[in-house]
């Protein structure tokens, strides 16, 4: 079966993700590409390490695809997320959404990255010049209810 | 027997990805407070819990063959 949601230890080819959603019904393909940033609030990142609970993460990415189907109707989504060591400017995640009209494609791809940050079991470890830390985005900005993921509350990080 | 998976900071604290335990019929909460207490995982209460790859509550009763994962705050993307 065609796999539209995957975790990989290899570099992601952007077109591999985009090609999953290209179709005659689409008038728009929107992509989101997440890359490794060198400076965060003045602190220099040397490289990142991403870890995933791969089997569950792929299921949760599929779930995001289903949520997008429900919210925007005629949408096709593909998402790839990389694991392992990533250097500055390497691609960590690629999202592609195709819809008949552009507004939905923009909105749905934004929705996908926010949901990834809420509930897909993937972690990044910052490696700075002076130390390392596993980052938990929610820890600073959000809290869990009863140790299950919080709902669709989109904050920008 | 159940398998308990750890990720990110919890994996480093435990020193391994997976611990197998000869138990069943206990809750996730019991697993944390009784069976995993020896690892002294300060941040385990910040973690979400998944049973067989679906998010689950702390009162979920674990059956033999279940895979329990402790999922620290995620940071993908």
Q: Is the pLDDT of residue A156 over 90?
A: no
Given this model, what pLDDT does residue A136 score? Answer: 85
Q: What is the ipTM of this complex?
A: 0.95
Q: Which CATH class is domain B2-71?
A: alpha beta
Strand partners, A25: none
Q: Do A147 and B48 touch (CB under 8 A)?
A: yes
Q: What is the pLDDT along chain B (77 residues), one digit of tens a residue?
A: 999 999 999 999 999 999 999 999 999 999 999 999 999 998 899 999 999 999 999 999 999 999 999 999 999 99
Tell me which chain A residues have a C-beta less than 8 angstroms from the C-beta of B53.
53, 55-56, 59
Given this model, what pLDDT does residue B73 score? Answer: 94
Tell me which chain A residues have a C-beta less than 8 angstroms from the C-beta of B76.
50, 52, 57, 81, 92-93, 116-117, 120-124
User: Could you give phi then psi for residue B21, rounded to 5 degrees?
Assistant: -125, 140
Among B7, B9, B46, beta carbon nearest to A53: B7
Confidence of residue A142 (pLDDT cuts 50, 70, 90): very low
Tell me which chain B residues have a C-beta less than 8 angstroms from the C-beta of A50.
76
Task: Flag whether residue A121 sits within 8 Å of chain B, measured between CB atoms.
Answer: yes
User: Angle A135-A140-A141 (CA atoms, 0-180°, nearest 5)?
Assistant: 120
Residues A76 and A64: beta-carbon distance below 8 Å: no
Q: Is the pLDDT of residue A144 over 50?
A: no
Task: Flag whether residue A47 sits within 8 Å of chain B, measured between CB atoms.
Answer: no
pTM of the model: 0.90
Say how many CB pairs under 8 Å bridge A and B: 92
d(CA A87, CA A82): 12
Domains of chain A, first to last:
5-138 (3.90.1170.40)
Strands A43-52, A28-35: pairing kind: unpaired
Among A51, A113, A147, beta carbon nearest to B49: A147
| Domain segments of chain B as ranges | 2-71
């Amino acid at each position: 079966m065609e796999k539209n949601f995957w975790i990989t230890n290899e570099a992601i080819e952007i077109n591999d993700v985009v090609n999953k959603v290209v179709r005659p019904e689409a008038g728009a393909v929107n992509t989101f590409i997440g890359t490794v940033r060198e400076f965060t609030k003045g602190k220099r990142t040397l490289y990142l390490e991403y870890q995933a609970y791969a089997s569950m993460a792929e299921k949760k990415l599929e779930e995001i695809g289903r949520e997008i189907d429900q919210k925007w109707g005629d949408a096709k989504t593909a998402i790839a997320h990389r694991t392992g060591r990533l250097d500055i400017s390497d691609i960590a995640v690629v999202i592609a959404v195709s819809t008949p009209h552009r507004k939905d494609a923009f909105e749905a791809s934004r929705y996908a990255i926010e949901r990834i940050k809420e509930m897909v079991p993937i972690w990044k470890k910052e490696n700075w010049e002076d130390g390392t830390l596993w980052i938990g985005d929610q820890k600073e900005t959000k809290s869990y209810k009863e140790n299950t993921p919080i709902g669709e509350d989109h904050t920008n990080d | 027997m159940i398998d308990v998976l750890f990720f990110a900071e919890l994996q480093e604290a435990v020193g391994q990805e997976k611990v197998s335990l000869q138990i069943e019929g206990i809750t996730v909460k019991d697993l944390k407070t009784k069976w995993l207490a020896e690892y002294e995982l300060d941040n385990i209460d910040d973690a979400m819990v998944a049973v067989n790859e679906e998010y689950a509550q702390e009162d979920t009763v674990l059956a033999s063959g279940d895979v329990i994962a402790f999922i620290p705050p995620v940071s993908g993307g």
